[in-house]
Structure 1
Amino acid sequence: MTPNTARRRETSRRAILTAAFDLLQEIGYAKVSIEGIAARAGVGKQTIYRWWPSKGAVVFDAFLLLSETADGGPPALPDTGDLAADLTLVLRATVEEMNDPRYEQPMRALATEIALDPELAAAYAERLDGPLKEAKRQRLRSAQRAGQLAEGIDLDVAVDLIWGPLFSRWLQRSGSLTVEYADLVVATALTGLRPRP
């Protein structure tokens, strides 16, 4: 019987990504090595280099694995018809993820690698950030069609206004990242900064 090489490759790939993520939490990004990942995953390091050019690329794919939707489809935001409620739900979940000790160190490591590696930054934009931004734009477009947002607003700027403050506060450790802060971001973004007549 011919062994199922595709299944074996996928099993090895998942073992490598799981090992990388576990090691990030246990010893921190600076101490993680390709050799250590290979040993934890039970593969040769040449197997890792066959699929990934760097440690940062392995970490990125580990995040892609974690962010896969259950049905394998593109990401989507909830659309109950109540934009404020939907954004509050999503931003609160974002805060919880950013504060989760299992994810904070790996996310910070990935953010650092993206800042330093143009190829990894391009892959991140294409494979993770781009689809997520499109899901956010789609939700805001739906709100425009329902008359909950002004027709003429730039949706890319709106996405930055809503999600940018959370990432900035988290990345710079410039204040507490709480659900109350997330609620305030949503309220401020949707209300606008100008006084009402």
Structure 2
Amino acid sequence: MTAHRYEVTARHERFSGAVFSVVTDEVTMPGGRTAARDYVRHVGAVGVVPLHDDGSVTMVRQYRHAVGRYLWELPAGLVDQAGEDLADTARRELAEEVDLVAGRLDVLVDMDTSPGFSNERIRVFLARELTEVPVERRHERRDEEADMAVRRFALDEAVGMVLAGEITNAACVAGLLAAARARDAGWAALRPADAPLPG
């Protein structure tokens, strides 16, 4: 079976902001007609599962206004610095959000978070061989980050929180489940930190 090539014949930007824009594309459909598709164009993001030598993971509890509540999440952030490598973005976020430096970084999982309405893609890394950022070099957290709690959980406890519905952030769910599976498989399925993105 030959896949149809969906071509964009026109694009109309409805909103433009620092993190995302909203656009309407006119797209060719099988059979020749054209249809309008609205979606969010996102800068992309990374997440990090910081796995300590004792098998625990560090997570953050952060207020998310869109859902109006606090969520347990991985250290994560936007790919919003021009020319910054994804692995470097992950290292930066790890240091800024939980004061950790990774001696080893591998790719756990890549996600298209909500492909029905957004092109947001998140790469989740596994960070190991962790050390602490010296106190005098730590990042000053502001806004929601100033209210952020940082806590360590045993990886299996965190997986249990996912299955109990206590962790609902998509990148955190995927990252924790992928980390547990990768651990159980002896880390054989991990990809290098510079592995190309799919697609």
* Larger Rg computed on CA atoms: 1
TM-score (norm 2): 0.25
TM-score (norm 1): 0.25
The answer to which structure has the higher strand fraction is 2
